[in-house]
Amino acid sequence: MPVTIKSAREIELMRAAGKILGKAHQDLGKELKPGMTTLEIDRLGEEMIRSYGCIPSFKNYQGFPASVCVSVNDEVVHGIPDKKRVIQEGDIVSLDMGVIYKGYHSDAARTHGIGEISKAAANLIRRTRESFFEGIRYACAGCHLHQISAAVNAHADRCGYGVVRDLVGHGIGSHLHEEPEVPNFYKRTRGIRLRPGMTLAVEPMINEGTGDVKWLENNWTVVTADHKLSAHYENTILITKGKPEILSITEDEIAEGIWNVGGMA
Ligand code: MG
Protein backbone atom coordinates (compact mmCIF):
# COMPACT_ATOMS: atom_id res chain seq x y z
CA MET A 1 0.00 0.00 0.00
CA PRO A 2 1.47 3.39 -0.89
CA VAL A 3 1.84 6.20 1.63
CA THR A 4 -1.41 8.17 1.57
CA ILE A 5 -1.87 11.92 1.54
CA LYS A 6 -4.98 12.82 3.48
CA SER A 7 -7.62 15.16 2.07
CA ALA A 8 -8.84 18.21 4.00
CA ARG A 9 -11.90 16.20 5.07
CA GLU A 10 -9.81 13.28 6.29
CA ILE A 11 -7.53 15.64 8.21
CA GLU A 12 -10.55 17.15 9.97
CA LEU A 13 -11.69 13.67 11.07
CA MET A 14 -8.19 12.78 12.26
CA ARG A 15 -8.04 16.04 14.23
CA ALA A 16 -11.31 15.11 15.90
CA ALA A 17 -10.08 11.57 16.64
CA GLY A 18 -6.80 12.89 18.04
CA LYS A 19 -8.48 15.45 20.25
CA ILE A 20 -10.64 12.76 21.83
CA LEU A 21 -7.67 10.44 22.29
CA GLY A 22 -5.55 13.15 23.90
CA LYS A 23 -8.34 13.87 26.36
CA ALA A 24 -8.89 10.17 27.10
CA HIS A 25 -5.17 9.78 27.86
CA GLN A 26 -5.18 12.80 30.12
CA ASP A 27 -8.26 11.62 32.00
CA LEU A 28 -7.14 8.01 32.30
CA GLY A 29 -3.68 9.04 33.49
CA LYS A 30 -5.26 10.93 36.42
CA GLU A 31 -7.15 7.81 37.52
CA LEU A 32 -4.07 5.62 38.01
CA LYS A 33 -3.28 4.70 41.59
CA PRO A 34 -1.61 1.92 43.53
CA GLY A 35 -3.88 -1.08 44.03
CA MET A 36 -5.66 -0.85 40.67
CA THR A 37 -5.60 -3.85 38.38
CA THR A 38 -4.54 -3.49 34.80
CA LEU A 39 -7.98 -4.80 33.81
CA GLU A 40 -9.64 -1.94 35.72
CA ILE A 41 -7.46 0.49 33.78
CA ASP A 42 -8.58 -1.08 30.50
CA ARG A 43 -12.27 -0.94 31.48
CA LEU A 44 -12.02 2.72 32.43
CA GLY A 45 -10.17 3.57 29.22
CA GLU A 46 -12.70 1.75 27.08
CA GLU A 47 -15.59 3.53 28.82
CA MET A 48 -13.94 6.89 28.18
CA ILE A 49 -13.31 6.13 24.52
CA ARG A 50 -16.89 5.00 23.97
CA SER A 51 -18.34 7.92 25.96
CA TYR A 52 -16.76 10.24 23.39
CA GLY A 53 -18.47 8.38 20.55
CA CYS A 54 -15.37 6.48 19.42
CA ILE A 55 -14.52 2.82 19.00
CA PRO A 56 -11.31 1.47 20.57
CA SER A 57 -8.89 0.70 17.70
CA PHE A 58 -7.11 -2.11 19.52
CA LYS A 59 -10.06 -4.21 20.72
CA ASN A 60 -9.92 -7.45 18.75
CA TYR A 61 -7.24 -6.02 16.45
CA GLN A 62 -5.50 -9.17 15.23
CA GLY A 63 -7.06 -10.84 18.25
CA PHE A 64 -5.86 -8.40 20.93
CA PRO A 65 -8.36 -8.89 23.78
CA ALA A 66 -8.54 -5.35 25.21
CA SER A 67 -8.90 -1.64 24.42
CA VAL A 68 -5.83 -0.38 26.25
CA CYS A 69 -2.36 -1.92 26.20
CA VAL A 70 -1.15 -1.67 29.80
CA SER A 71 2.58 -2.38 30.05
CA VAL A 72 4.22 -2.32 33.49
CA ASN A 73 7.93 -1.73 34.25
CA ASP A 74 9.97 -4.07 32.00
CA GLU A 75 7.02 -4.54 29.64
CA VAL A 76 7.67 -2.46 26.53
CA VAL A 77 4.30 -2.68 24.76
CA HIS A 78 1.20 -4.85 24.33
CA GLY A 79 0.70 -5.65 28.01
CA ILE A 80 -2.60 -7.52 28.25
CA PRO A 81 -4.94 -6.19 30.94
CA ASP A 82 -5.45 -8.77 33.67
CA LYS A 83 -7.65 -8.83 36.76
CA LYS A 84 -4.80 -10.36 38.75
CA ARG A 85 -2.18 -7.77 37.83
CA VAL A 86 -2.10 -5.02 40.44
CA ILE A 87 -0.09 -1.86 39.94
CA GLN A 88 2.03 -0.73 42.87
CA GLU A 89 3.60 2.42 44.20
CA GLY A 90 6.88 2.94 42.34
CA ASP A 91 5.80 1.15 39.14
CA ILE A 92 5.87 2.79 35.76
CA VAL A 93 2.90 2.04 33.54
CA SER A 94 2.72 2.61 29.79
CA LEU A 95 -0.75 3.07 28.36
CA ASP A 96 -1.20 2.73 24.62
CA MET A 97 -4.62 3.51 23.18
CA GLY A 98 -6.16 4.02 19.78
CA VAL A 99 -9.55 5.39 18.80
CA ILE A 100 -11.63 5.27 15.64
CA TYR A 101 -13.77 8.33 14.92
CA LYS A 102 -15.98 8.16 11.82
CA GLY A 103 -13.64 5.64 10.23
CA TYR A 104 -10.33 7.36 11.11
CA HIS A 105 -7.80 6.23 13.68
CA SER A 106 -5.62 8.07 16.14
CA ASP A 107 -2.94 6.29 18.18
CA ALA A 108 -1.01 7.56 21.21
CA ALA A 109 0.92 6.28 24.24
CA ARG A 110 2.04 7.73 27.56
CA THR A 111 4.10 6.32 30.41
CA HIS A 112 3.03 7.26 33.95
CA GLY A 113 4.75 6.86 37.29
CA ILE A 114 2.58 5.39 40.06
CA GLY A 115 2.93 7.39 43.26
CA GLU A 116 6.56 8.05 44.09
CA ILE A 117 8.97 6.58 41.55
CA SER A 118 12.75 6.39 41.43
CA LYS A 119 14.74 9.20 39.89
CA ALA A 120 16.01 6.79 37.26
CA ALA A 121 12.44 5.85 36.29
CA ALA A 122 11.34 9.49 36.13
CA ASN A 123 14.33 10.34 33.93
CA LEU A 124 13.55 7.48 31.55
CA ILE A 125 9.95 8.67 31.15
CA ARG A 126 10.96 12.29 30.59
CA ARG A 127 13.75 11.48 28.16
CA THR A 128 11.60 9.10 26.17
CA ARG A 129 9.10 11.91 25.72
CA GLU A 130 11.91 14.28 24.77
CA SER A 131 13.10 11.83 22.12
CA PHE A 132 9.70 12.09 20.43
CA PHE A 133 10.00 15.88 20.29
CA GLU A 134 13.60 15.66 19.10
CA GLY A 135 12.41 13.33 16.33
CA ILE A 136 9.56 15.48 15.12
CA ARG A 137 11.84 18.46 14.63
CA TYR A 138 12.37 16.72 11.29
CA ALA A 139 8.72 15.89 10.70
CA CYS A 140 8.18 18.56 8.11
CA ALA A 141 7.66 18.69 4.39
CA GLY A 142 10.97 18.33 2.56
CA CYS A 143 12.70 16.36 5.29
CA HIS A 144 13.20 12.63 4.94
CA LEU A 145 11.52 10.08 7.17
CA HIS A 146 14.68 8.59 8.59
CA GLN A 147 15.83 11.96 9.86
CA ILE A 148 13.09 11.53 12.46
CA SER A 149 14.45 8.06 13.29
CA ALA A 150 18.02 9.31 13.62
CA ALA A 151 17.05 12.17 15.91
CA VAL A 152 15.15 9.83 18.25
CA ASN A 153 18.09 7.44 18.31
CA ALA A 154 20.61 10.22 18.92
CA HIS A 155 18.70 11.46 21.96
CA ALA A 156 18.50 7.96 23.42
CA ASP A 157 22.23 7.53 22.79
CA ARG A 158 23.03 10.77 24.58
CA CYS A 159 21.06 9.51 27.58
CA GLY A 160 22.77 6.10 27.53
CA TYR A 161 19.55 4.22 26.80
CA GLY A 162 18.70 1.36 24.44
CA VAL A 163 16.31 1.85 21.51
CA VAL A 164 13.85 -0.91 20.68
CA ARG A 165 14.41 -2.03 17.09
CA ASP A 166 11.89 -4.84 16.84
CA LEU A 167 8.90 -2.51 16.85
CA VAL A 168 8.39 0.72 14.93
CA GLY A 169 5.96 3.59 14.38
CA HIS A 170 3.74 3.72 11.34
CA GLY A 171 1.52 5.64 8.99
CA ILE A 172 -2.09 5.93 10.18
CA GLY A 173 -5.46 6.95 8.79
CA SER A 174 -8.43 4.84 7.74
CA HIS A 175 -6.26 1.93 8.91
CA LEU A 176 -4.46 1.71 12.24
CA HIS A 177 -1.21 0.65 10.59
CA GLU A 178 -0.38 2.12 7.20
CA GLU A 179 2.82 2.70 5.28
CA PRO A 180 5.46 3.88 5.98
CA GLU A 181 7.20 2.23 8.92
CA VAL A 182 8.70 4.85 11.25
CA PRO A 183 11.80 3.37 12.93
CA ASN A 184 13.24 4.84 16.12
CA PHE A 185 16.79 3.90 15.11
CA TYR A 186 19.43 4.91 12.57
CA LYS A 187 18.87 3.66 9.03
CA ARG A 188 21.35 3.68 6.17
CA THR A 189 18.69 5.00 3.81
CA ARG A 190 17.04 8.41 3.91
CA GLY A 191 13.51 7.07 3.75
CA ILE A 192 10.69 8.77 1.90
CA ARG A 193 10.49 12.49 1.48
CA LEU A 194 7.78 13.87 3.76
CA ARG A 195 4.86 15.72 2.23
CA PRO A 196 2.01 17.79 3.68
CA GLY A 197 -1.02 15.64 4.42
CA MET A 198 0.91 12.57 5.54
CA THR A 199 -0.13 11.32 8.98
CA LEU A 200 2.27 9.32 11.12
CA ALA A 201 2.29 7.63 14.53
CA VAL A 202 5.77 8.41 15.91
CA GLU A 203 6.41 6.25 18.95
CA PRO A 204 9.81 5.93 20.62
CA MET A 205 10.10 2.84 22.84
CA ILE A 206 13.19 3.44 24.95
CA ASN A 207 14.81 1.09 27.45
CA GLU A 208 16.89 1.83 30.50
CA GLY A 209 19.31 -0.94 29.49
CA THR A 210 19.59 -2.94 26.31
CA GLY A 211 17.26 -2.25 23.36
CA ASP A 212 16.85 -6.00 22.93
CA VAL A 213 13.43 -7.41 23.67
CA LYS A 214 11.64 -10.73 23.89
CA TRP A 215 8.04 -11.87 23.65
CA LEU A 216 6.15 -13.46 26.50
CA GLU A 217 4.32 -16.74 25.99
CA ASN A 218 1.04 -14.93 25.30
CA ASN A 219 2.67 -13.91 21.98
CA TRP A 220 1.69 -10.30 22.55
CA THR A 221 3.57 -8.76 25.42
CA VAL A 222 7.06 -7.50 24.64
CA VAL A 223 9.52 -7.21 27.55
CA THR A 224 13.07 -5.95 27.81
CA ALA A 225 15.62 -8.75 27.45
CA ASP A 226 17.42 -7.64 30.63
CA HIS A 227 14.16 -6.86 32.54
CA LYS A 228 15.18 -3.26 33.09
CA LEU A 229 12.55 -0.54 32.65
CA SER A 230 11.04 0.61 29.38
CA ALA A 231 9.04 3.73 28.48
CA HIS A 232 6.85 4.63 25.51
CA TYR A 233 5.66 7.96 24.15
CA GLU A 234 3.57 8.24 21.03
CA ASN A 235 1.44 10.74 19.16
CA THR A 236 -0.33 10.86 15.84
CA ILE A 237 1.06 13.79 13.86
CA LEU A 238 0.21 15.59 10.62
CA ILE A 239 2.95 16.73 8.26
CA THR A 240 2.46 20.31 7.11
CA LYS A 241 4.62 22.82 5.27
CA GLY A 242 5.95 24.05 8.63
CA LYS A 243 5.93 22.53 12.10
CA PRO A 244 4.07 19.25 12.36
CA GLU A 245 0.67 19.34 13.96
CA ILE A 246 0.43 16.96 16.91
CA LEU A 247 -3.09 15.64 16.66
CA SER A 248 -3.28 13.59 19.87
CA ILE A 249 -2.26 15.97 22.65
CA THR A 250 -4.51 18.33 24.57
CA GLU A 251 -4.43 22.12 24.73
CA ASP A 252 -3.31 21.77 28.37
CA GLU A 253 -0.27 19.74 27.39
CA ILE A 254 0.65 22.30 24.77
CA ALA A 255 0.19 25.09 27.35
CA GLU A 256 2.45 23.20 29.78
CA GLY A 257 5.23 23.66 27.26
CA ILE A 258 5.40 20.01 26.35
CA TRP A 259 5.43 21.09 22.70
CA ASN A 260 8.54 23.13 22.98
CA VAL A 261 11.20 21.86 20.64
CA GLY A 262 12.68 25.21 19.70
CA GLY A 263 13.51 26.00 16.12
CA MET A 264 12.69 23.58 13.35
CA ALA A 265 15.47 21.79 11.58
MG1 MG B 1 1.24 2.96 17.29
In contact, 156 and 206? CB cutoff 8 Å: yes
Q: Give the pLDDT confidence of 204-245 residue by residue, as tens digits.
A: 999 999 999 999 999 999 999 999 999 999 999 999 999 999
Q: Give the pLDDT confidence of 72-117 residue by residue, as tens digits.
A: 999 999 999 999 999 999 999 999 999 999 999 999 999 999 999 9
pLDDT mean across residues, the chain: 95
Q: Which residues contact 125 (CB under 8 A, 6 or more apart)?
A: 92, 111, 112, 113, 231
Rounded to two decimals, the pTM is 0.96
Q: If you measure from the C-alpha of residue 204 to the centroid of ligand 1, how many angstroms do you get, rounded to a whole number?
A: 10
In contact, 104 and 118? CB cutoff 8 Å: no
pLDDT band at 259 (very low <50, low <70, confident <90, very high): low
Q: If you measure from the C-alpha of residue 25 to the centroid of ligand 1, how many angstroms do you get, rounded to a whole number?
A: 14
In contact, 152 and 203? CB cutoff 8 Å: no
Q: Among 17, 4, 202, 3, which residue's Cα sits nearest to residue 106?
A: 17
Q: Which amino acid is at 10?
A: E
Q: If you measure from the C-alpha of residue 46 to the centroid of ligand 1, how many angstroms do you get, rounded to a whole number?
A: 17
Give the SS3 label for residue 194: coil
Q: If you measure from the C-alpha of residue 201 to the centroid of ligand 1, how many angstroms do you get, rounded to a whole number?
A: 6
Q: What is the C-alpha separation between 149 and 139, in angstroms, rounded? A: 10
* Predicted local confidence at residue 258, as pLDDT: 63
Q: If you measure from the C-alpha of residue 172 to the centroid of ligand 1, how many angstroms do you get, rounded to a whole number?
A: 8
Q: What is the C-alpha separation between 194 and 257, in angstroms, rounded? A: 26
Q: If you measure from the C-alpha of residue 173 to the centroid of ligand 1, how many angstroms do you get, rounded to a whole number?
A: 12
Beta bridge partners of 224: 213
Beta bridge partners of 178: 171
Burial 242-258 (b: 16+ CB within 10 A, else e): ebbbbbbbbeebeeeeb
Q: Are strands 104-113 and 92-101 parallel, antiparallel or unpaired?
A: antiparallel
pLDDT band at 252 (very low <50, low <70, confident <90, very high): confident
Q: If you measure from the C-alpha of residue 188 to the centroid of ligand 1, how many angstroms do you get, rounded to a whole number?
A: 23
Q: If you measure from the C-alpha of residue 138 to the centroid of ligand 1, how many angstroms do you get, rounded to a whole number?
A: 19
In contact, 98 and 107? CB cutoff 8 Å: yes
pLDDT band at 256 (very low <50, low <70, confident <90, very high): confident
